[in-house]
Structure 1
Amino acid sequence: MIRVMLVDDHALVRMGFRMLLADAQVEVVAEADSGEQACAEYPRAKPDVVILDISMPGMGGLEAVRRLLAQDPKARVLVLSAHEDTAHPRRVLRAGALGYLTKRSAPDALIAAVTAVAANKAYVDPQTAQALAMAQVRGETSPAEALSEREFSVFVQLARGLSVAQIAENLKLSPSTVGTHLYHVKQKLGTANQSELTLVALNWGLIEGNPGSQPR
C-alpha cells in the first residue's frame, strides 16, 4: 500500500482526495494545511509520496518542495496546481518534484500520478506536458523565465498582494534581501510598482483571482 501525505490548505479538498485515494488502496498517513506544517510533519510521517498543492498561504508550495528535498533528497513529491501556465511546472520540476498534475485532471489521473511517483517515476499530466512541449517548439517563454528561483518566489508572493515583511517571514529572508530581489524583479520585468507586477502575473496565468487572495 502506498503511503501519502496530503498538503492543502482546504480541509474539504483534503477530505475529497482522501476518499478518492482510499478507493485505490492508498493510505493517507498525514495531512498538513501549509508548507510549513508539511516540512515539520514529514520526518515523522515518512510518506512514500507527498501530494502538495502549489497555492497555499505562507511559504507556498514551490518553497515547500525545495525545503522537503533539502530535508530528504529522496522525497517523492507530486504537485497539484490550478494554474495552467508553463512557468510553474518548469519551476516545480526543476526544484525536484517528480510529478505535476493540474486540478482539472480526471480523478483516475491522480491515482496514476501517485502510483508513478511512488515508483520513483516522473509524471506530468498530458495537458501540461503538451503545453510545455508546444511552448518549447514555438519559443514561447514567460517574462518570469528571466527570474532566478528566489526572485520568482518573491515575485509571485508580491503579485498576490503580500507585503515585503510578510514575504520575508514566509521565505525566512531579511526584509532587505527581499527588497533587493524585488529591485531585480522590477528591472528584469520592466515594471515600476506592485500593481504592474500583479498585472504581469495575471496576464501570464501565474496567479488567479484578486490580489491578496490565495488562488485555487
Structure 2
Amino acid sequence: MFLADPFHTPANLRFLLIDDHPAVRQGLNLLLEANGYTPGVEAGTRVDAKACLEQAAFDLALLDLSLADGSGLDLLVDLAEHGVRTLVYSMHEDPGTIDRALRCGANGYVTKREPIGVLLEGIEGILRGECFVSAHAKSSLEETAGSPATDPLFLLSDQERVIFSAMARGESNTEIAESLGISPRTVETYLTRMVNKLGLSNVRSLRKFAISGQG
C-alpha cells in the first residue's frame, strides 16, 4: 500500500478523512487532488468513520482527535484492525495527547498550525512505511522527556479508561463488550494494548491492577 509499490500509484491510493469540520475535510481533499491523489472519503464522526471502515479498504486515514461524538484516539484501534495507517492532524499540541496518540497506534502526528507542506511530508512519509512526527510535535514531546506522568493511566485512551473502570467493577469481557456495543474480540485488542502501555505481564495482572483500585 506504499508509494514504493508500483501497483499503488498516488492516483489509486484510498484516503479516509476524519474531521468534524466539513471545511477542513473539503480543504484536505483539495490538497490531495492538487498533489495527484484521489479525493478521500469523508467522515465527520466516529460512527461515520467506523461505517466507512466496514464498507471499504483504505491506505491512509487523516484523523482529527476532537470529534462530535468522542475522542478520535479511540478510533486508532479500529483503524489498525482494518490495516489502515493513520496520520493524526490535530489542533492539540500538548505532549500528553501527542504521546497517547502515538502509543495508541498512530503512525504520525502533525499539528494544524504547521505549514501545509509539513502535512504533505507526513502523508508521503507514512505511505512509504515511515513514522512521521512533525518538528512542532517532536519539540513538544522533548519538553517533557524524562518526566513521566504521575497517573499510571495517563497513557490510556478514553475508551480504554472506560474498559479499565468496567474491569475494576468486576465485569467480564463479554459484559464489557455488550455495554459498549463492540465485539469481545475488540475488547481483547484493547486489553492487550492496555497491558503493553502499563508495562504489565498479561491481562490477568491488568484485571488485578484494576480491581485493586489503582487509578
Provide TM-score, normalisation by structure 2.
0.65
Q: How many residues align?
A: 162
Give the match for residue 27 of structure 1. 38
Matches within 5 A, 1:146-165: 146-147=153-154, 149-150=156-157
CA RMSD of aligned residues (A): 2.9
Matches within 5 A, 1:76-91: 76-91=85-100
**Is 1:37–2:29 an aligned residue pair?**
no
Cα distance per residue 1:156-200 (max 9 Å; x no partner): xxxxxxxxxxxx9xx927xxxxxxxxx99x975xxxxxxxxxxxx
Contact in 2 for aligned 1:29/1:45 (Cα 8 Å): no
Give the match for residue 116 of structure 2. 107
Give the fraction of aligned pairs with identical amino acids, expressed as a percent: 28
Contact in 1 for aligned 2:74/2:159 (Cα 8 Å): no
- Which protein shows a greater Rg? 2
Give the match for residue 13 of structure 1. 24
Structure 1 unaligned runs (5+)? 156-167, 174-182, 189-216
Shift in Å, 1:3:
2.5
CA distance in structure 2 between the aligned counterparts of 1:63 and 1:30, rounded to whole angstroms = 19
CA distance in structure 1 between the aligned counterparts of 2:130 and 2:68, rounded to whole angstroms = 29
Q: Runs of 4 or more off by more than 6 Å in structure 1? A: none
Give the match for residue 98 of structure 1. 107
Aligned amino acid, residue 88 of structure 1? T
Shift in Å, 1:83:
1.1
C-alpha distance 24-151 of structure 1, shift in aligned 2 (>3 A): closer
| Deviates further, 142-151 or 36-45 | 142-151
Give the match for residue 52 of structure 1. 63
C-alpha distance 146-43 of structure 1, shift in aligned 2 (>3 A): closer
CA distance in structure 2 between the aligned counterparts of 1:14 and 1:142, rounded to whole angstroms = 34
CA distance in structure 2 between the aligned counterparts of 1:14 and 1:37, rounded to whole angstroms = 14
